[in-house]
Chains A and B, each alone.
Chain A
Amino acid sequence: MKNLILAAAVMALTAGGALAQTVRMGTEGAYPPYNFINDAGEVDGFERELGDKLCEMASLTCEWVTTDWDGIIPNLQSGNYDVIIAGMSITEERDKVIDFTQNYIPPAASAYMALSADADVKGGVVAAQVGTIQAGHVAESGATLLEFATPDETVAAVRNGEADAVFADKDYLAPILAESGGKFVWAGEEVQLGGGVGMGIRESDTELKAKFDAGITAMKADGSLNELIKKWFGPDAVTY
């Protein structure tokens, strides 16, 4: 009886859902200019514009959802959304658990940002966001890794003197450095990590992956992707 009531309630809750394909786009919303929540409370940034364009090209209805970075892969796997589009670099390790489309941002540099150019990035304390390729790199570099849940906190740690430097995508740090009024400077050397940024998709979702792959190929061919990269990351950004 109880099961029957439960089932009935569930049916009522889910009835009427048309089969028009809605794709839920999962992002972090805390990594400008890749993705962030703008002042109107909406997801905004390079990936919002790119994602909307790709959905339009594949005639999909897309809905944006945000989640914390730490749980972004498990939430994809349990089906809370269908795509990760969150500045996620394609790495072998991640490719084992989820699938990636081809990259939509070419492999770009990661950089150290510190309060002084001679900060010790090899032996000092370096902040990075948890679960990123940069965090993995710091752990192997010999520096003491200080991990934070959000990118903003990694920068704050350097500002407060908690860490000697922060290690992240250069494109993320560049606007912060430019607007710090000389407080922040680059330190150490730039490092090339990962195979570019791609969209993460469940391994079983081959059809969706093909659709987005086709869209990215088309945008690469007609140059609109390069324009979009330049618009959000500045004229010096690496393009295709």
Chain B
Amino acid sequence: MFAACADPSLIAGPEWLLCYLTTGKHVDFYWSFLTVLILLAVTAPTALAFGFGGAMAARSPILPVRLVGKGYTAMVRGVPDIVFFLFFVIALDQGIEWTVHQIRCPDWIEPIRQGLEFRVCPQAKVPQGSAPQSVHELYGFALAVLTFALVFGAFAANVLYGAMQAVPKGQLETAEAYGMSHRQVFRRVLVPQMWVYALPGLGNLWMILIKATPLLFLLGVKDIVYWARELGGAKTSAYAFPHPDWRLYYFLFLMAFYLCMTKLSEIVLSRLSARLSRGQATAAGEALRRAAA
């Protein structure tokens, strides 16, 4: 990065450290923090949407829809995350390629499955084999977001389902007595009130999601834990910057990062909780009313 860093063997002390911390590999490490933050920013709303859909389906008066909703939460919640991450992503990836294969290469006669191999025609590879590595990485990232959203969506569905059940029946009946339709009751009375019941559960999920991001590496996305391990490992002089085992320092840095994320989340969640309790018929809402009076 800097001109003085051209030959690291000639420099020492703070200058060496500065050069070391600005190598291309370290820049990749810093970018991976952004990857994790983007993953969180994209996954959280997507998972919430999945959860909302799941909870609505689980409450549906129509039996098949209800079964789909309940089945989704039961299946995904029951399977260990790591199994899900290993199996689902491969299945999804091969499913997509299989579909494209059927469309693009109808004349292909060789079997797709040859023993343990999965072989579609070259035009059906997603992304194309000739695509630049960045496209492959983007595709991997998209798969990761979808998988995270699906897993956490199932947990969120259960939380939201519980929250919907927790809204006092009297509220809903009163709304119906005023002549509101089912849909209006749901939108105007049930949903605005359920958030305060859902928040502790959703807050928990958010915290777990933050800590689950190292699973990204299983999906081929290089995350901060991968880079910390890679950079911290002892380096011989095959590398430009040889150093002993520094994993401890890298992992301490990660710990600080995760703790900051957790602290920040706690502050935001407690504010959100206070905001949502305003005017609610709950103990927290009552306390707010008293304090104001």
Contacts and interface: CB of A to CB of B under 8 A. Distances in A.
B236 A176 contact: yes
B27 A30 contact: no
A65 interface: yes
B242 A79 contact: no
Contacts of B233: 30, 150, 152-153, 156
Given A32-B238, A156-B233, A156-B234, A22 B119 contact: no
A6 B123 contact: no
A14 B128 contact: yes
Interface residues of A, number: 51
A15 to B, nearest CB: 9
A101 B129 CA distance: 21
Interface string A202-234: 111000000000000000000000000000000
Contacts of A103: none
A65 B135 CA distance: 12
B130 A17 contact: yes
Contacts of A139: none
B234 A204 contact: no
A39 B238 CA distance: 10
Q: Which of B123, B128, B129 has the largest number of chain A CB atoms within 10 A?
A: B129
B278 interface: no
Interface stretch (B89-97, B169-177, B264-272): B89-97
Interface of B: 23-25, 27-28, 90, 93-94, 96-97, 99-100, 103, 110, 114-120, 122-133, 136, 139, 217, 220, 229-230, 233-234, 236-242, 245, 247
A140 interface: no
Contacts of A7: 99-100, 103
A108 B96 CA distance: 42
B114 A203 contact: yes
Given A13-B126, A38-B240, A78-B118, 11 more contacts: A7-B100, A17-B128, A21-B130, A22-B130, A37-B230, A39-B23, A41-B25, A63-B132, A150-B233, A152-B234, A156-B233
A45 interface: yes
A77 interface: yes
A137 interface: no
A202 B130 contact: no
A40 B27 CA distance: 9
Given A39-B239, A39-B240, A20 B25 contact: no
Contacts of B124: 14
B237 A202 contact: no
A116 interface: no
A61 interface: yes
A43 B31 CA distance: 18
Contacts of B238: 32-33, 36, 45, 175
